Amino acid sequence: MAASLQGKHIALLATDGMEELEYTQPREAVENAGATAELVSLRPGTIQGYNYLEKSKSYDVDITVAEADPDRYDALVLPGGVANGDFVRADREAVAFVRSFFDAGKPVGVICHGGWALVEADVVAGRTLTSWPSLRTDLTNAGATWVDEPVHTDNGLVSSRKPDDLPAFCAKIIEEFAEGRH
């Protein structure tokens, strides 16, 4: 029987340049499991999704990170995309938002370049995770152990490498988000 996320609120933190599939598939997965998902972003309006380096669809922002209360959410998803990961890690409010989930022991799912926000939030030391291979040095310099696996879980932190890993990533975030705080 699939885990239920009924009654849970999930934040997906992204901005322009997010890898579209790494946003849409996790969002669909948590919503199909019964959760309410919200797109939290750096500014109001819409954000531009990408399919690698090609523009794809735009997505409506539900709430800005400045307005979002982390206590309202049960879990966090950080989609990838090179520009997205870079913009999110450079935003102080976004980094504080990310850190708050770790401080509260809430589960977090991160894929691809989303891991840059974790480095900036100073939450990877002593953890094992995976990412897009180009983040390996950044993650290890921040104290993480990097592994090349489709999905890896470390005490509520679910990480994946790329869009090809989305089926395993989505299944694992549902499981971890259903378990709740770690």
With vertex at residue 132, the alpha carbon angle to CA 107 and CA 73, rounded to the nearest 5 degrees, is 20
Question: What whole-number distance in Å separates Cα of residue 12 and Cα of residue 169?
Answer: 14
Residue 160: closest CA among 1, 62, 29, 2: 29
Strands 36-41 and 54-60: unpaired
* Contacts with 175 (C-beta within 8 Å, 6 or more apart), sequence order: 3
DSSP one-letter string for 95-131 = HHHHHHHHHTT--EEEEGGGHHHHHHTT--TT-EE--
Whether 152 is a known active-site residue: answer: no
Which residue of the set 9, 113, 152, 182 is catalytic? 113
Question: What whole-number distance in Å separates Cα of residue 52 and Cα of residue 163?
Answer: 10
Question: What whole-number distance in Å separates Cα of residue 13 and Cα of residue 11?
Answer: 6
Under DSSP, the state recorded for 69 is -
- Mind telling me the catalytic residues? 113
